[in-house]
Chains A and B, each alone.
Chain A
Amino acid sequence: MPKLVIDGEEIDVSAGTTILQAAQARGREIPHYCYHKGLSMAGNCRMCLVEVEKAPKLVIGCYTPVAEGMVVHTQSAKVKQARSAMMEFFLVNHPLDCPICDQAGECRLQEYAVEHGTGISRYTESKLALSKAVDIGPHVMLDQERCIQCSRCIRFCDEITKTGELAFFQRGERSQIGIFPGKRLDNAYSGNVVDLCPVGALTLKEFRFKTRVWYLRNTPTICAGCARGCNVVVSVGQQQTMMTTRGQLDDRVKRIVPRVNEEVNAHWICDDGRMSYAKEQGAVRLQAARIGGENASYDAAVAAAAAKLANAARAGKLGVIASPRTLCEDLYAWREVVLRLGSAVFGARSLVSGDNDALLVRADKGANARGAAWIFGASSGEDAVLAAVAKGSVTTLLVLGDTLDPADTLALPVAAKGKVEVIVAGPFASGAAADAAVAIPSASWSEADGTYVNFEGRAQRVRRCHLPLGEARPGWRIAADVAASAGAPLPEWVEASDVLRALSAGVKEFAGVTAESMGLLGVAAPAAAGV
């Protein structure tokens, strides 16, 4: 374990650690552009130059491994001068696009210019003019002038997706990022290059000019696109529009970006996950409760649902089908309601399509399929429930609708129509909700706190990113209200964590799973060890 001194502090690190990593571990950030933990070394930006005593020149911290007895200075006059020199070089050809560039507010060039630059550039010659606003893929826009040639995007396409779309063209000062003429940057993870780009050279088409990043409210949560459960940050707009008075917020999801979780998704998310919020936003939401297709008050709908569910459960004629994107808390709450009222055939839908890819994407699109299997029982499935409907042994169906994608919301098979009475608790107006006897609006994926269990049995926290639309409520809240109305109340639950505590005590696979134990990176549920 080499011992070295960084800025006067003696530290002990494992062999092979670089100066930059050692400094980071001690909370000292060394500025850098091209270095990225998930990619190979480039060492080309030269921003991380630091001083090592007895070395003939400054060295790059990202690449230089620590050595026993090394003495490093990251804040000396020489280092500060080098940083400001590098910043001046970066700004030689970089266009003054800040007023129109999406990266503003989360741009390393801006941040380092303020922190490490001289404030004034001595460059008074002309700047290179290259192509701007080049559409290079379904999601990505390129601005060659803004590029600082860090090569992160190239390395990503070479090393992570192994698709090699991007490369440097030309030489020297004229080097520019490009794609083979006629080809597109259309691999399934293309959006990650936008996150990787430290400046605004690569921007996401769907986010361009939507809002300034300082108007975003960011929430760490979990993607609902598939059973991988990639860790993400969802950004919700807060910008007050010109035409409203104070307090009227935009409050919609503006973008999704990945969060680092080495156990789940490393640094990346797939493009489908990145764009998944659009499915929720593009849909017609159930904003008010309905009875028999007519708008009704929430309380009336709850009472109607409670009566039908109680009857069916007591008579053993109830079936429950849940979307595999339903939160654990909601599944558990509904299960408890039904079991207090009687019994039912339970089933979680299967949303398997396509194949697992080599990176993150799972064929199973049910973000909480594992959690549903644990709560509803492993042998449950929608086929069993629909078969019971066909046989006539289920005449009332409770459908817990999909929270993300209206296209995945259950639509009853034609054969079942007329044979069964449907009660829906879900966010969307389509599918089974369209002809339901009772439809109660529930929170969508971005509107409620809860827990998802990914395909590896990792329990992770889903967080509410913005207020639910209209009358929608969290599913477990609706279940509790129905239970109360049916005279079989559930315990006093105020927040999702109350439900989680009950779930953790009541379902053995969830022992020890708490909000604290999951934290930001999730926790492997004990049952995961078994499979």
Chain B
Amino acid sequence: MERILTRNVDKPEALTLSGYEALGGYQALRKAVSSMTPDAVTDEVKKSGLRGRGGAGFPCGLKWSFMPKEVDPKRPHYFLINADESEPGTFKDRLLMEKDPHLVLEGSLLGAYAIRAKAVYIYIRGEFVHEAKVLERAVAEAYARNYAGANILGSGWSCDLVVHRGAGAYICGEETALMSSLEGNRGYPRLKPPFPAVSGVWGCPTTINNVETVANVPFIIERGADWYLTVGKAPKNTGPKLYCLSGHVKRPGVYEAPLGLPMKELIYELGGGMLHGDRPLKAVIPGGSSVPVLRAEDCDVDLDFDALAAKGTMLGSAGVMVMDSSTCMVAAMARIAHFYHHESCGQCTPCREGCGWLERVLNRIEAGNGMQQDLDLLLSVSNNIIGNTICALGDAAAMPAISFVTKFRDEFQHHIDHRSCLTGTLLLQGVR
């Protein structure tokens, strides 16, 4: 399999602009700026079938086409790169930013060109201190080479490139919260409409894309959408994908494969199989902790958007978290619930009050103090959150809870009935 997105990650020379160019980089940007119109760039991306790699899988070219085709000078366009990567189980954007920063910049500039942006802001999570420094060095190089700044490559198009660090808030990965945060506010998601392409940051037309998503664009422009359609599963699951494998496997890490890699292949071949020979696979969360869990017997599935949706879960951020037979599913879910409780912004009632409630009940069950009505209570509270919140964090907290309780009900029931764990783990082991 040809490595596309990760072709440079083992090549230290890619870290410098000249090295990146020597490896073939920035051809796409030069081609686009000199011989394509912005709309032609968008059309090519549309044709390619590229879907967002941040979690929602929204068609990228379609999103770009929502932007106004002409720029009102009072309302410049902005391109925001969502580098807030905080979804548990996800660490692919970090790899690209750290090891192939110019790929990220080139993709960002191509997107900025397509949507006629005045500036690109890369919103990177505050914890990625090293990666932000790498990006900033690359940005300086890009300016020096006139790939960013005024009159890029003599095209008449000017665009700034700014690295903007967050400060520790998962919710800022939600696109409207990202905009609130970038504007200098608490990271509160916003009501939609208006949609960002109509009124985003500073009231201006805005597009937000994930790091991995834009990293695909140079390849689409350089090699063409027709080529891109041959990678993965056309028409709706095209392109290369970075999969993040973690948990109870021998070789956790980022693996690139065409979209649609079979999960078992990822775990057993690329990932080296289960961490302990005597502990078989029990469960997998395929797309970051916000998506429903799969039991081992449901893991014969391709890791693409549609195949996973058909199984009642999602590709999401492709954070594949593998759990073996030693895992207490109650403890795992309690830990996931803690995450959402900690990260809820607190703006709207069901999420603010419901996430804490879910965690407290799960902690009680995990510790052996569950009550008979707790399982139905968890399902009811979760269902009361879903669909009723301003943003998807509420759903992200509730859907895992429903899936864990539904698919592993016997384990939860055992904790309640017998105040002990089917896996034999001692209770109250968790860091609470």
Contact = CB atoms under 8 A, between A and B. Distances in A.
Indicate if A touches B (C-beta under 8 A). yes
Interface of A: 41, 43-47, 49, 56-58, 60, 63, 82, 85-86, 88-90, 92-93, 122-123, 125-126, 148-149, 168, 170-175
A82 B341 CA distance: 21
A170 B342 CA distance: 11
A92 B356 contact: yes
Interface string B353-380: 1111100110010000000010001001
B350 A92 contact: no
Contacts of A170: 346
B357 to A, nearest CB: 6
Contacts of B1: none
A54 to B, nearest CB: 15
Contacts of A172: 341-346, 352, 355-356
Nearest to B361: A125
A168 B356 CA distance: 18
B172 to A, nearest CB: 11
18 contacts: A45-B349, A46-B389, A47-B349, A49-B388, A56-B387, A85-B388, A86-B350, A86-B388, A89-B354, A89-B357, A122-B377, A171-B169, A172-B352, A172-B355, A173-B341, A173-B352, A173-B356, A175-B347
Contacts of B388: 46, 49, 57-58, 82, 85-86
Contacts of B163: none
A92 B346 contact: no
Given A44-B390, A49-B388, A90 B357 contact: no
Contacts of B373: 122
A5 B304 CA distance: 42
A123 B357 contact: yes
B350 A46 contact: yes
A309 to B, nearest CB: 67
Given A172-B342, A172-B345, 9 more contacts: A43-B390, A46-B348, A85-B384, A89-B350, A90-B349, A93-B353, A148-B349, A173-B355, A175-B347
A47 B348 CA distance: 10
B348 A44 contact: yes
B191 interface: yes
Return the 6 tightest CB-CB contacts between A and B, nearest first: A175-B346, A85-B384, A57-B387, A125-B360, A172-B344, A89-B353
A93 B355 CA distance: 12
Nearest to A47: B349
Given A86-B388, A92-B357, A173 B344 contact: yes
Contact of A125 (B191, B350, B357): B357
- Residue of A123, A148, A172 with highest tally of chain B CB at under 10 A: A172
Nearest to B394: A46
A37 B65 CA distance: 36
A440 to B, nearest CB: 59
Contact of B346 (A57, A60, A82, A174): A174
B186 interface: yes
B349 A86 contact: yes
A92 B348 contact: no
Contacts of B347: 44, 149, 175
A89 B343 contact: no
A346 B1 CA distance: 102
- Residue of A46, A63, A82 with highest tally of chain B CB at under 10 A: A46
Nearest to B384: A85
A124 to B, nearest CB: 8
- Residue of B346, B364, B377 with highest tally of chain A CB at under 10 A: B346
Contacts of B191: 41, 43, 60, 63
- Residue of B342, B347, B349, B354 with highest tally of chain A CB at under 10 A: B349
Nearest to B360: A125
A57 B392 CA distance: 13
Interface residues of B, number: 30
Contact of A173 (B353, B364, B389): B353
A85 B346 CA distance: 17
A90 B350 CA distance: 8
B343 A168 contact: no
B186 A90 contact: no
Nearest to B386: A57
Contacts of B353: 89-90, 92-93, 173
Contacts of A148: 349
- Residue of B347, B353, B355, B357 with highest tally of chain A CB at under 10 A: B353
A169 to B, nearest CB: 9
A60 B377 CA distance: 25
A174 B346 CA distance: 8
Given A125-B360, A173-B355, A58 B387 contact: yes
A521 B380 CA distance: 48
A60 B192 CA distance: 11
A135 B278 CA distance: 62
Interface string B383-401: 0100111100000000000
A149 B352 contact: yes
A57 B353 CA distance: 20
Contact of A175 (B343, B352, B354, B380): B352
A57 B345 CA distance: 22
- Residue of B186, B355, B364 with highest tally of chain A CB at under 10 A: B186
A38 B414 CA distance: 54
B142 to A, nearest CB: 35
A86 B353 CA distance: 10
Contacts of A46: 348-350, 388-390
A168 B186 contact: yes
A46 to B, nearest CB: 5
A113 B186 CA distance: 31
B349 A173 contact: no
A89 B342 CA distance: 17
A412 to B, nearest CB: 59
A92 B373 CA distance: 17
Nearest to A84: B384
A67 B189 CA distance: 25
Nearest to A124: B371
Contacts of B345: 171-172, 175
B391 to A, nearest CB: 11
A90 B384 CA distance: 12
A168 B185 CA distance: 11
Contacts of A93: 353, 356
A98 B118 CA distance: 55
B188 to A, nearest CB: 9
Contacts of B380: 122
Contacts of B384: 82, 85, 88-89
Contacts of B354: 89, 92
A56 B386 CA distance: 12
A57 B192 CA distance: 14
Contacts of B346: 149, 168, 170-175
Nearest to B393: A172
Contacts of B343: 172
A123 B384 CA distance: 14
A153 to B, nearest CB: 15
Contacts of B349: 44-47, 86, 89-90, 148-149
Nearest to A122: B377
Contacts of A174: 346
A172 to B, nearest CB: 4
Contact of B348 (A45, A88, A126): A45
A60 to B, nearest CB: 8
Contacts of B390: 43-44, 46
Contacts of B364: 125
A45 B353 CA distance: 11
